[in-house]
Amino acid sequence: MYIEFRESIYRIAGQVADEDVTFRERERALDRAARRRARQDPAVREKERLRNTAAKRRARTDLATRERERLADTASRRRARENLAARERQQAVDTASRSRARENPAARERQQAVDTASRSRARENPAARERQQAVDIASRSRARENPAARERQQAVDTASRSRARENPAARERQQAVDTASRSRARENPAARERQQSVDTACRSRARENLQARQRQQAVDTASRSRVRKDPPARERQQAVDTASRRRARENLSSTFSKLLLKFNNKIRCSPSFICSCCGGLWYRESVVEITEDEFIRREIDGEFIRSILHVKQQQHYLCKSCSKAAKSRRVPRLALVNGFDFVEIPEVLKVKIFVHWYNVRVLLNCRRSYNPIYCCFYQCLSPLEERLVSLRLPFMQIRLLGTQRQSSLRGNVVNVENDLDVCAQVLPRKFTDSSTVQVKLMRRLRYNVPYMYETIRPAKVYLAAKYLLGTELYEGVALSDDWSGYEEGEL
């Protein structure tokens, strides 16, 4: 009876206490103070920690409890991220925590070990490795698209390389890594070809840039000067050059017979490639192909392109000298646009002749057989016809010298004035376009053997003289009126 009465009294007292809010708050404050005092005792705190650890371990063994805890943590972190102030506080706490960890060498080493192990496990997992690579590529792409971020990264990389170069041990390690990497690349034919293509394109772009070419020339000149001033380096270079020349002499491909065969193969075809700039005839090995599109890609104006590609032809070629000048964006000295282009021969000073194709093949030294046809060529006036309309007749002795049969001038050159009317007196007064006469040109009248003896066409001679009278060289020269009947049809 007493026990039941006491329990009923306690129950009634508890209900009254719960209803009293002030009493409940005092009780909570007393409990917190009691727990705080208990935590100050290491033994109590250790027991509390062990009890909490055991409780969390039991909770983790329960799948349902662990799932509820995970969902609660996820929702809590989500709410914290949605709250800007809470997110900033959390970032500040994390930053301060990482700063303290970095200042502690032991903590920093432990974190590095954890990160290293985590990255190792990630690299061993192909799926995780591919995801990380995709993330890194996307991050670098975004960084490259941002000019400010790109400049910052370049500054960081430059400072890092500078520090590495200042450290001898790091520099040696990097050199060893680079040497091994290049060795592996050289052993792979595909990688070697790709690298050669990249290097060739890079050098081509550098040569097209005048400033880059000048800088490279200055660097090469300074490097060679330093090598020449260093006696050991100079001796090593001399030894290398000596060995290279010795190998070249010992190489069968560098013997006279091989070189002669190589030369004959290169000049087997006649020099029939025309330089579009200077108009010279070259062998195929001495010219390079060029198109207008290449000049347009280099942003060269059309006037410069027309001055370089002066000769009209389907495929343009440039000799080595003109190509070098064109790459430097300057007109070559021997370009046809500088006044070296031949004047077009007018129709009255050239005639049309037909030659059998067999004779053309003999002339061009062609071995291929062709159908027996006739080819049309344009030829100027004959030698005697040219002398009949010339104001001066030059006489000279030209002889062939030596085994190469080069031409040489011997003696004096005599210029004999020629009057067109005097020459016209020996021609018949009546002739047609198809008329021909035989004329002898004597050096002196007392000689019995003529200097030239040919069949000429008076009509061609008259038309040529009529045209030449309108040029600058024939100013003050007049043709007799006896010839005016040709144009009127009376002769």
So what's the pLDDT on residue 55? Answer: 83
Domain extent at residue 243: 187-250
Q: How many domains does the chain have?
A: 3
21 in any annotated domain? no
Does residue 401 sit in the same domain as residue 475? yes
Summarised one tens digit per residue, pLDDT across range 108-140 is: 888 888 888 888 888 888 888 888 888 888 888
For 342, residues 6+ apart whose C-beta sits below 8 A from its C-beta are 279
So what's the pLDDT on residue 364? Answer: 41
Q: Is the pLDDT of residue 482 over 70?
A: no
Does residue 232 sit in the same domain as residue 269? no
115 in any annotated domain? no
Tell me the whole-structure pTM to 2 decimals. 0.38
CA distances from 81 to 67, 68, 77, 87 (A): 21, 20, 6, 5
**Distance in angstroms (rounded) separating the CA atoms of residues 121 and 273:** 66
So what's the pLDDT on residue 317? Answer: 92
Does residue 230 sit in the same domain as residue 299? no
29 in any annotated domain? no
324 in any annotated domain? yes
Question: Which of 338, 353, 371 represents a domain boundary (last residue)?
Answer: 338
Say which range, 48-52, 110-114, 193-197, 253-257, has the weakest mean pLDDT. 253-257
DSSP class per residue in 67-99 = HHHHHHHHHHHHHHHH-HHHHHHHHHHHHHHHH
Does residue 419 sit in the same domain as residue 320? no
* Single-letter amino acid code for the residue at 466: K
Does residue 461 sit in the same domain as residue 436? yes
Given a contact cutoff of 8 angstroms between Cβ atoms, the answer to whether 287 and 317 are in contact is yes
Summarised one tens digit per residue, pLDDT across range 353-370 is: 544 444 444 444 443 333
So what's the pLDDT on residue 359? Answer: 42
Confidence of residue 424 (pLDDT cuts 50, 70, 90): low
67 in any annotated domain? no
**Distance in angstroms (rounded) separating the CA atoms of residues 164 and 319:** 48
Distance of CA 162 to the CA centre of its chain: 29
Does residue 278 sit in the same domain as residue 193? no
166 in any annotated domain? no
156 in any annotated domain? no
> Which tokens hold the place of 149?
């971020």
Q: Is the pLDDT of residue 371 over 70?
A: no
Does residue 479 sit in the same domain as residue 386? yes
pLDDT over 90, % of the chain: 5
So what's the pLDDT on residue 430? Answer: 61
Does residue 401 sit in the same domain as residue 423? yes
Pick from 372, 347, 368: nearest CA to 467: 347
- Beta-carbon-side half-sphere exposure of residue 485 (alpha carbons within 13 Å): 8
121 in any annotated domain? no
Q: Is the pLDDT of residue 318 over 90?
A: yes
Does residue 308 sit in the same domain as residue 385? no
Say which range, 26-30, 128-132, 249-253, 279-283, has the weakest mean pLDDT. 249-253
Does residue 273 sit in the same domain as residue 214? no
Question: Which of 226, 250, 274 represents a domain boundary (last residue)?
Answer: 250
DSSP class per residue in 392-454 = EEEEEEEEEETTTTEEEEEEEEEEEE--HHHHHTTS-S---TT--EEEEE-SSTT-SS-SEEE
Question: Which of 208, 224, 250 represents a domain boundary (last residue)?
Answer: 250
